[in-house]
Amino acid sequence: MPVESIRLESGFGGGEHLIHRAAANPQTGFIGVEPFVNSMAKLLARIEELGLRNIRLYDDDAVLVLDWLPDACIDHIDLLYPDPWPKKKHWKRRFVSDVNLQRFHRVLKPGGLFCFASDIDTYVNWVLQHIDRHNGFAWTARNASDWLTPFEDWPGTRYEAKARREGRSSAYLSFRKT
């Protein structure tokens, strides 16, 4: 079945968000990228159980997919609760970087969205600084409640639930390609 739009989720973890979005949006094609075998196996079982046909998976580094994709082919990119690499000496390993923002910008269609969620303040600040420096994305928030409110039709994730149990709030950032 042909799709009307394409959405990529990098590092889908247990796949709860990806499954929810794919089931709710059969007209959208989803690309899920996750290097961990257990996460991949869990998601494959759910895809089969639900009979979803609008998901394609890649079981390696998302950078390889981003470099392979043609220009302006993706409508939406989700990066939800990525590894925060909390120690300052490891920040260079964070997935949001100048080079990866350039990759996102290249593959997103004009007006496409990049959505990021995290409960780690230093990573949220990191993303905002990198986005500001990149200059190819506009933050869609109009007031503080916009980035404190989960994305529309948000199913939640196990990482979000863990953060809440541990007393941390989350930020939900949306950026439109300019």
pLDDT, tens digit (0-9, with 9 covering 90-100), for 54-106: 999 999 999 999 999 999 999 999 999 999 988 889 889 999 999 999 999 99
CATH of the domain at 57: 3.40.50.150
Residue 167 in tokens = 């007393």
Residue linked to tokens 């970087």: 97
With a pLDDT cut of 90, the percent of the chain lying above it is 90
Domain residues for the domain of 107 are: 5-177
Overall average pLDDT of the 134-157 stretch:
94
Is 80 exceeded by the pLDDT of residue 1? no
Catalytic pick among 67, 83, 121, 146: 83
DSSP codes, 86-99:
-SGGGGGG-S--HH
Strands 108-118 and 28-33: unpaired
Residue 69 in tokens = 């994709």
Q: Which of 93-102, 124-133, 142-151 has the lowest mean pLDDT?
A: 142-151
DSSP-derived 3-state class of residue 177:
strand
Band the pLDDT of 4: cuts 50, 70, 90. very high
Domain count, the chain: 1
Overall average pLDDT of the 145-152 stretch:
93
pLDDT digits (tens, 9 = 90+) for 15-29: 999 999 999 999 999
pLDDT of residue 14: 87
> CA 55 → CA 15, 80, 118, distances in Å?
11, 17, 24
Residue 17 in tokens = 């968000």
Verify whether residue 78 is a known catalytic residue: no
Q: How far apart are the first and last CA of the chain?
A: 30
pLDDT of residue 64: 97
Residue 10 in tokens = 């990098």
